[in-house]
Amino acid sequence: MDTILETAKSWLTDFFDPKVKEEIQHLIDNDTEELKDRFYKNMEFGTGGMRGVMGVGTNRINKYTLGKSTQGLSNYLKKVYAGEDIKVVIAFDCRHNSDTLARTVAEVFSANGIHVYLFSELRTTPELSFAVRHLNCHAGIVLTASHNPPEYNGYKVYWTDGGQIVPPQDGEIISEINSLGFEDINFNANESLITVIDTDVDEAFIEASVKNGNFNAAGKDDFKIVFTSLHGTSITAIPEVLKRAGYENVTIIEEQAKPDGSFPTVKSPNPEESEALSMAVKKAEEIGADMVVGTDPDSDRLGIAVRNLEGKMQIVNGNQAMVLMTKFLLEKRKEKGFKGNEFIATTIVSTPMMEVMAKAYGVEFKTALTGFKWIGKMIKDFPQSDFIGGGEESFGYMVGDFVRDKDAVTATLLACEIAAQAKANGSSFYRDLIDCYVDYGFYKEHLISLTKKGMSGAEEIKQMLKDFKENPVEFVAGSKVKWIEDYNTSRAKNVLTGEEKPIDIPKSNVLIYETEDGTRIAARPSGTEPKVKFYISTNTKLDKAENFTKVSAQLDAKIKSIVSELNLG
């Protein structure tokens, strides 16, 4: 506690704003627990950059923590690109303070002699990724906390290729940041180096999105879409993209169309959660729509609902959407003729069905750690290879490589193309998905996410993962555990034969069990939230579509038994 108090008192100098000093003094005098939570650690870069609760303190998002990160990044850019006219582009989402924090970040860059392109108003994360290369920038920043609760904000850093920072840049940037004190931040803006941008980049991005996501599907006139931006940024792009691709029957949920960082109509602006799409699903039932699409605040994730076999709207999960999108893109590429250098990609906690599909089409399959920065890195590391598409279980997808992050704008258009074409062919998005299960095996996944807040929560998460590793189970749902993959040590061990093999991807705090019947259980802490996540994947054969409901119930029962066995409920 002495160290925490010392750190807090260092914020009482004249460098910090009077209101900041006043609040910290109040915490010192009256609220020890809150003081501890705000100062027990520094904001860290995780899978999605730096993300956290807004407020004063080293463990909060504020002008000083973001200013220090920006100062460190400025120093790093000037070392790496010495003598160049360095350029950075900055975007921000709908969250509280995103616009003012983005302005602060721009001012620090400019104070360090770096030319800044600052979007005039909120924009999507995929447009920021696109803008980095479109404007020939050295880096990009987006102020966002994705789908986190309203009290959060964050700061994602993109590199010259348009992808998020990855090793070694991330470690080097963090070292640069950690070498600084807050008094090292240069807040003295050079306004001549800040250029406000808007419609020119918008137009280029929208054109590229339509080009990559439009496959001239039949039946667009007869296809009804309900769209919700969940108070976020996608309202600036998706309606126009759908319109230009030929979709006229688009109903926008007006109550959720206005950007609002309080997200007043939802418990959480996360399309992974069914409640977030409930207003749109209700409207779809009322008007007889074919599809619902909803996006998170920065428009990198999308949730989809379609009509199931009974004709009711049903949300499909990220794995299901990813499988059908990838199958569609593979079919389109097959029609043109494969050249032999194509690949698809996903993450280690996503459905194994992606690898099965890749083998069936004869294209390369690559797998990565959780987070789209790793898929972006693949594109950069293998320039001779052709990325068709890929995604992750957490409702993110990327079509081609013109954007180097998950992209709900183009993915929304692609989903509509698939569904419109299926309807025109007498099928549906849902029935096409079932056909995939018949062709490649019925894979069903389930996510358990446990929230553990604060300092004690971090310790609890650490202990849970330690127990999972040091006391491995021998059976899962009656099937012997065959492989234990430890991404912290980069080793996979066959516990039945003793065989070991290296894991050729970067180290990460992830442990995966795989049983003899192909069931997989993955455990990992979230890189952006105080959560520990357990990913369950089961599979079986589906001999014909007519048996889908029965076999699906069997897999549900198996998942339920696994949750009970591992005490995850």
Catalytic residues: 146
Instruction: For 492-520, give the DSSP string.
Output: EEETTT--EEE--S---S-EEEEETT--E
Q: How many helices (H) and strands (E) does the chain have?
A: 17, 24
Please give the single-letter amino acid code of residue 323: V
| CB-facing half-sphere around the CA of 81: CA atoms within 13 A | 17
Q: Please give, one letter per residue, the 3-state secondary structure of 526-567.
A: CCCCCEEEEEEEEEECCCCHHHHHHHHHHHHHHHHHHHHHCC
How far apart CA 232 and CA 158 sit, in angstroms, is: 21
Question: Which two tokens mark 472?
Answer: 């491995």
Listed as own residue / partner, the contacts of 168-173 with beta carbons closer than 8 Å and 24 or more positions apart are 169/76, 170/45, 172/76, 173/45, 173/72, 173/73, 173/76
**Chain centroid, CA 529 distance in Å:** 12
Cβ density class 42-80: b for 16+ within 10 Å, e for less: bbebbbbbbbbbbbbbbbbbbbbbbbbbbbbbbbbbeeb
Closest to 421 measured CA to CA, from 262, 290, 280, 237: 290
DSSP letter at 256? Answer: G
Q: Please check whether residue 503 is in contact with residue 492, taking contact to mean a CB–CB distance below 8 angstroms.
A: yes
DSSP 367: E
SS (H, E, C) 306-327: EECCCCCEEEECHHHHHHHHHH
The backbone torsions φ and ψ at residue 190, rounded to the nearest 5 degrees and listed phi first, read -110, 95
Sign (positive or negative) of CA dihedral 521, 525, 527, 533: positive
Buried (b) or exposed (e) across 133-144, using 16+ Cβ within 10 A?
A: bbbebbbbbbbb
CA separation for the pair 474, 480 (Å, rounded):
6
What Å distances lie between residue 275 and 24, 61, 75, CA to CA?
A: 37, 27, 44
d(CA 121, CA 143): 12
Q: Distance (Å, rounded) from C-alpha 107 to C-alpha 203? A: 26
- Residue 564's Cβ-count burial label (10 Å; 0-12, 13-18, 19+) is exposed
Angle at 272 between CA 403 and CA 301, to 5 degrees: 10
How many other CB atoms are found less than 10 A from the CB of residue 160? 18
SS3 43: coil
> 115-119 and 87-92 as β-strands: parallel, antiparallel, unpaired?
parallel
